[in-house]
Structure 1
Amino acid sequence: MWADNETSEDLLGFKVHADLLIDIIKDESVLPITIGVFGDWGSGKSSILQIVKDEFDKEEDKDSLCIYFNGWTFEGYDDAKAALLNSILKELEDNKKISAEIKETIKEKAKKLWKSVDWMRGAGMVMKNIALPAVSAYFTGGVSLVPFAIQKLSELGDNPEKIIGKLQSKEGQETFKAFFKSQEEDKKTINAVAEFRKDFSELLEATNFKRLVVIIDDLDRCSPERIIENLEAIKLFVNVSKTAFVIGADPRIVKYAIEHKYKNDKEIEEDNSRIVIDYLEKLIQLPYSLPRLSESEVETYISMLICKKEIGNEKFKIVIEAFQKYRLKNKYSAFGLSEFESILDADDFSKVKDNVITIPALVPLITNSLYGNPRQIKRFLNTFTVRKRLAEVASLTGFKDSVLAKMMILEYSEPKLFKKLFDWQIVQDGIPKEIGEIESICEEKEIEKISEDLNDSDFKEWNKPKVIKWFQIEPFLSEIDLRDYYWIARDKLENSITSGSMIPPVVKSLFGQLLPDEMPAAVTKDILSNSFQQLNNIEKEAFFNLLSSNIKRNPQQKRLYDIFTIMLEEKIDNTAQYYIEALKVINISNIEPAVALRLSNFKSDPIIGDFLINYFQGGKSPASRSFNLKK
């Protein structure tokens, strides 16, 4: 098994990215700078940042101080600026590179910095916890702060006279004065920020370091509000000489957070994309996007993971050294069995070979199915290993690892087809004739011809380039009894591997965006068009599973049906299949008549129509009556 943690051990050849970042940061002419290391969830951002930190932490580097700040760890702090400053000052106090005399100087200078942060922190809490609740309470008759009240307040505009006219009360006058006073406080805040930067620059001068490197990781795991607070905290340090901030995040999550920040500003919402771009460009001078792994990199990564597991950490050190030398000369070829043979003794090589031998042929499918994502690859291998062990413990005879790997690729990338194959084999003693028929169609022809033949057959749903490639790669399955392979995967037949995995933050964020009950259909469609369609297939699958599991647990929550129905209206691929699976386990009595009435528009839909007609047929529930109303 492989741990799903960041590591400075480079099995991906990603050190080249870390070295580039280090080289940029060490160029004094570019400081101060803020660098955004962008990539999908699980793409290797944290490991690259760990390599950067380890390089700057070396004792021989007397010119650099590097601080690692996990935005997610500080989710519970009331103020991100205080959390960030606390991390920096604590590191300065504890750092072995700094003498005791200089540490005393730092402590003295830090007192003034804390006063600035405490003032800004207090001003923010007053505005957040006193001014806004007071105004919203006016609109809601004393009810605590709610989104409706904030929306009402924003509709009054920014003209003080209008606000007074609307409030029309002594309480309104007092509230206005509080807001007017806050404008004066804003001026003080601007001065406090400038003063803070000056004081912080002086503190850095006292340390004698040439550069302060602050790494901020896991920003995309935070709530939208916390992401913005962390970004605003970073802005506090922007333009302070000798500093480099390196931020690791999925840019889509950050985009959602910025949109969330301005969601009640109508003027900004009209040009939403521009405000997001402007915000990021002002904060991040150098965006650096990580590429997805190529096929050779995926083969190398899998081979290295297996090699380490088989021979142990100590022996693996020589493999890592050889890999690093190899990458200096050859950045494009896979580092695998042929290289291991020249490094390892015969026994160790034999163990590694037995486990790696089936991998190269499957690499193109693994790469495409898992989108070159290191975390997904590692979790795929963990599941593969568990199932291999289960087969051994259960003493399954004739069990082939290569068949298991091939079946898991279908399960991971096409769970609906995986379930279809299960349905075929269960009534044919494990050897479905359909597999042989499709394999015959897919052999030794141009892809265009194969596609035409599948369209003219009973297997239209299998007509996908990735699936065709799956059929063409050995081992072929037409004579294989699949019952054992489905037996060890039986816990996943309902939900597939992806739904049992941790949900990507970008999916959680999108789901949260779509949940508000009062959201207009037009806004929902816009979010689906701009955000859902940008997800890769694994993330889309995770979104459908999240939506399905929520609707099964909360069958009376109308908003969940609305999301599904709007996705049907927008003709989003696979929506009908997931909606059908969810409705099968939901009691009709839990469905509101309005939901059923809207679903009646899909009676003639080729995928979901017949199911809906049978589902609502002859029922006496309000939902059934609504569905069957004559229009």
Structure 2
Amino acid sequence: MWSDNETDLDLLGFDFLVDEMVVALTQPRLLPLTMGVTGGWGSGKSSLLKIVSAELADIPDDETGHFVVVSFSPWQYEGYEDIKAALTEAVLARLQQEVEADGPQAEQVGRLRRMATSLRRPVRRLVGTALPAGAAIAAGAVDPALADAASMIAQGMVGSSESSQDSAGYSSEEEPEPVAAGAFRQQFGELMESLHKVRAVIVMIDDLDRCLPHTVVDTFEAIRLFLNVDKSAFVIAAHAEVVQAAIDQRYPGLRRSGASGLGAEYLEKMLQVEINIPALSAPEAETYMHLLLSELHLPQAKFTAVKEAVDQRRRGSALGVALNVGMAADTLGPDMPPELYRDMIWAAAVAPVLGSGLRGNPRQIKRFLNTLKLRLAGAERRGTTLDAAVLAKLMVLETQYLSDFQRLFDWQSAGPVNDRGNWLFAAEQRVRGIGEAGELEPAANEAPEGPSAAGARDGRRSTTRRPQSREAATAGGLDEEVRIWAEQPHIDAWLRMEPALGRKDLGPYFTFARAKLTLGANTAVLSAHIQELLGRLQSDVASRRRGAVTQVAESVVPADLPTLVDHLLQAVLHDPAGPATDGAAELCERIPAIAPTVCERLKLIPVEILRPKLATLVRRLPKGDPAVMALLDGWESSTSGAFVRTARQARGRR
């Protein structure tokens, strides 16, 4: 298992980013400097900061002194005190360690710390208002012409707050006078100049993208108003788009005509240097997975040897695979553990699809591996043996395309044991271009591997229509629904991955994914005809779905209809963006009596999740039904209201 915490062990090949940051931060002519380290959540920003901090700490002293690194997370202070005071106090507390206890510099640090206490304000008031200084900075950083508007907004806020006690119960007369930003910065600059053994103070600010808008802006204010002096640098690690949105939300009144807001331009002005962490490419993702597995299976000395070999290969070719099973064997020789060999084999198979599907995100890759290891360990405790390669391939589908994973489960668990998986085998052979139709038939005495699939022993039946029979699968083509499923580009790539699954019993593997699956445990009480209709109502093929709607209206007796609708709506709740939602809307259009039940279930689903199906739902749901009208009115009040309103108007014109 692997921790999700930041680390100073570079498994991602960040050395080129580390070098870039260290060079910029150690150039006196660039100081004062505010540097941004930008990237998505889980891209490795925190680890990069930790690695750079360690590099700076290892730089030996020279005649100009050493580097002082301060780590600060505004997120940890949010809700407790003014973030400007917290950041200033963190820097001064660290500098206290750099001065003699009884010297003049210690007195100077103490005076600045006392001044910093006057920055504190009651948090509730801080959240509810925008400080005039913040508005001026935000506007001036982008366009001086906005300064007047900022002043008017700020004055209006100040006027309303000064007329009465604030939300924390303090009147303006009781509060200490705020510190003058210019005076504080001047004295802080004098202190920094007097620290002859300090080359620079470098403040590493992390987790800013987890903070509320007022905290984001106040952090920048603290840097610009109080701490931005010679021999100082600030490194801010954050998701750029999140920070931009926070700034826009903090100052909605400063939008300019035709512009989206201040966020992007404000951030550009505040950051003199920006280091962007790229997503891992497929080869980089494969190397990262192999390094994680090597760290798990190897003793420290041997892992260090493997990592050094990887570093050497990365210097020669940064974009290629720097570690795979062959490269590991070259480094380790006969000491290659069998467990590592087997894990590297399946990791190489899933890495290209996994790396692209998880957008090259190191955190998501690590979580995938942790989940896989947990399931293997859980199966072992229960006396079940799972093939890690099979589990990894199934988890790729589960983590990236859950509705397709659900469909795979439904098809696998339907029908007699000797039919199960034959369609999957045929689909794998088809995409790989292997064999003639007759060669797809397994040997007469060949049965799927392992115990029977999930649900077979207790007689449960799937709510999804079972694909073609063995004879049809081997007659030269695939069932239409299976063919459409298999021809999707992501399914085509998945089917080509090793190992092939068509001849394996996948039931034990689905057992450990059941938290995400709709098992349809009550369908055993349904007749074969109802089960067949349920499967067709969830088909991707529109003609098959609509034919099932007609059959339901003509052949299902009223006593069975509520049960059928209930099972169909279970599928809708599980995958709102899937074809079951189309089937429910089309069935509701044909049988308006079920509209209240359908609308009641749809209310449980966030409208944004339903957005891909909103147009269909608005068009198909019975127009005059009160439950439908109430549902659509509720959707109109949501963030997708404009879309729903347009769809309703378009329907009204028909």
CA contact (8 A) 1:35 1:287 kept: yes
Q: Aligned to 2:289, which of 302, 324, 328?
A: 302
Equivalent residue for 1:427?
A: 414
Q: Aligned to 1:282, which of 247, 269, 278?
A: 269
Equivalent residue for 2:540?
A: none
Distance in 1 (alpha carbons) for counterparts of 2:403 and 2:302: 42
Equivalent residue for 2:371?
A: 383
Alignment of 1:189-200 (within 5 A): 192-200=180-188
The alpha-carbon distance between structure 1 residues 627 and 307, as it changes in their structure 2 partners (threshold 3 A), is closer
Alignment of 1:472-491 (within 5 A): 472-491=496-515
Measured after TM superposition, the shift of residue 408 of structure 1 is 0.5
CA contact (8 A) 2:246 2:263 kept: no
Corresponding position: 1:253 with 2:242: yes
Distance in 2 (alpha carbons) for counterparts of 1:480 and 1:367: 25
CA contact (8 A) 1:454 1:463 kept: no
Equivalent residue for 1:468?
A: 492
Letter in 2 for 1:14: F
Q: Aligned to 2:627, which of 615, 623, 626?
A: 623
1:344 alignment partner, SS class: helix
Equivalent residue for 1:9?
A: 9
Distance in 2 (alpha carbons) for counterparts of 1:321 and 1:159: 56
Letter in 2 for 1:85: T
The alpha-carbon distance between structure 1 residues 126 and 333, as it changes in their structure 2 partners (threshold 3 A), is closer
Measured after TM superposition, the shift of residue 484 of structure 1 is 1.4
Equivalent residue for 2:105?
A: 106
Structure 1 residue runs without a partner (length 5+): 134-153, 183-187, 446-452, 496-572
Distance in 2 (alpha carbons) for counterparts of 1:278 and 1:606: 36
Corresponding position: 1:214 with 2:203: yes
Measured after TM superposition, the shift of residue 577 of structure 1 is 6.2
Corresponding position: 1:36 with 2:69: no
Measured after TM superposition, the shift of residue 306 of structure 1 is 0.7
The alpha-carbon distance between structure 1 residues 260 and 429, as it changes in their structure 2 partners (threshold 3 A), is farther
Measured after TM superposition, the shift of residue 195 of structure 1 is 1.8
Measured after TM superposition, the shift of residue 261 of structure 1 is 0.2
Distance in 2 (alpha carbons) for counterparts of 1:392 and 1:594: 41
CA contact (8 A) 2:582 2:616 kept: no
Distance in 1 (alpha carbons) for counterparts of 2:211 and 2:157: 34
Distance in 2 (alpha carbons) for counterparts of 1:54 and 1:384: 32
Distance in 2 (alpha carbons) for counterparts of 1:199 and 1:443: 72
2:353 alignment partner, SS class: helix
Alignment of 1:189-588 (within 5 A): 192-208=180-196, 209-237=198-226, 239-263=228-252, 265=253, 268=255, 270-336=257-323, 337-344=325-332, 346-396=334-384, 399-429=386-416, 431-444=420-433, 459-460=483-484, 463-493=487-517, 575=577
Letter in 2 for 1:439: E
Letter in 1 for 2:391: L
Q: Aligned to 1:84, which of 67, 82, 87?
A: 87
Equivalent residue for 2:67?
A: 64
CA offsets per residue over residues 54-98 of structure 1, 9 Å max, x none?
11122724421111111222223321111111111221223xxx3
Letter in 1 for 2:508: D
1:72 alignment partner, SS class: helix
CA offsets per residue over residues 439-482 of structure 1, 9 Å max, x none?
3542349xxxxxxx999766545543222211122222222222
Distance in 1 (alpha carbons) for counterparts of 2:57 and 2:127: 41
- With structure 2 as the length reference, what TM-score do the two structures score? 0.65
1:427 alignment partner, SS class: coil
CA contact (8 A) 1:259 1:272 kept: no
CA offsets per residue over residues 2-44 of structure 1, 9 Å max, x none?
1111000011111221121001111111111111100010001
The alpha-carbon distance between structure 1 residues 125 and 595, as it changes in their structure 2 partners (threshold 3 A), is closer
The alpha-carbon distance between structure 1 residues 612 and 275, as it changes in their structure 2 partners (threshold 3 A), is same
Distance in 2 (alpha carbons) for counterparts of 1:606 and 1:132: 40
Measured after TM superposition, the shift of residue 110 of structure 1 is 2.1
Distance in 1 (alpha carbons) for counterparts of 2:601 and 2:392: 44
Alignment of 1:600-611 (within 5 A): none
The alpha-carbon distance between structure 1 residues 49 and 581, as it changes in their structure 2 partners (threshold 3 A), is farther
Measured after TM superposition, the shift of residue 105 of structure 1 is 3.3
Distance in 1 (alpha carbons) for counterparts of 2:310 and 2:114: 51
Distance in 1 (alpha carbons) for counterparts of 2:78 and 2:583: 36
Distance in 2 (alpha carbons) for counterparts of 1:159 and 1:415: 49
Distance in 2 (alpha carbons) for counterparts of 1:155 and 1:59: 44
CA offsets per residue over residues 267-303 of structure 1, 9 Å max, x none?
5164553511221122111122111111221111111
Corresponding position: 1:47 with 2:47: yes
The alpha-carbon distance between structure 1 residues 435 and 25, as it changes in their structure 2 partners (threshold 3 A), is same
The alpha-carbon distance between structure 1 residues 93 and 193, as it changes in their structure 2 partners (threshold 3 A), is same
Measured after TM superposition, the shift of residue 404 of structure 1 is 1.1
The alpha-carbon distance between structure 1 residues 236 and 320, as it changes in their structure 2 partners (threshold 3 A), is farther
1:68 alignment partner, SS class: strand
Distance in 2 (alpha carbons) for counterparts of 1:106 and 1:363: 56
More helix by share: 1
Distance in 1 (alpha carbons) for counterparts of 2:479 and 2:248: 43
Measured after TM superposition, the shift of residue 414 of structure 1 is 0.4
CA contact (8 A) 1:156 1:163 kept: no
Letter in 2 for 1:52: V
Measured after TM superposition, the shift of residue 51 of structure 1 is 0.4
The alpha-carbon distance between structure 1 residues 477 and 576, as it changes in their structure 2 partners (threshold 3 A), is closer
Equivalent residue for 1:75?
A: 78
The alpha-carbon distance between structure 1 residues 155 and 333, as it changes in their structure 2 partners (threshold 3 A), is closer
Over the matched positions of the two proteins, sequence identity in percent amounts to: 31
Alignment of 1:70-149 (within 5 A): 70-94=73-97, 98=98, 100=100, 104-121=103-120, 128=126
The alpha-carbon distance between structure 1 residues 116 and 478, as it changes in their structure 2 partners (threshold 3 A), is same
Distance in 2 (alpha carbons) for counterparts of 1:84 and 1:375: 28
Across the two proteins, how many residue pairs are aligned to each other? 495
Distance in 2 (alpha carbons) for counterparts of 1:36 and 1:306: 32
Measured after TM superposition, the shift of residue 365 of structure 1 is 0.6
1:213 alignment partner, SS class: strand
Letter in 1 for 2:316: K
Letter in 2 for 1:486: F
Letter in 1 for 2:500: F
Higher mean C-alpha deviation, range 71-80 or range 311-320: 311-320
CA contact (8 A) 2:599 2:628 kept: no
The alpha-carbon distance between structure 1 residues 580 and 206, as it changes in their structure 2 partners (threshold 3 A), is farther
Measured after TM superposition, the shift of residue 587 of structure 1 is 9.2
Higher mean C-alpha deviation, range 251-260 or range 333-342: 333-342
1:83 alignment partner, SS class: helix
RMSD: 4.7
Letter in 2 for 1:480: K
Larger gyration radius, structure 1 or structure 2: 2
CA contact (8 A) 2:185 2:225 kept: yes
Letter in 2 for 1:379: R
CA contact (8 A) 2:485 2:491 kept: no
Distance in 2 (alpha carbons) for counterparts of 1:49 and 1:409: 31
Letter in 1 for 2:393: K
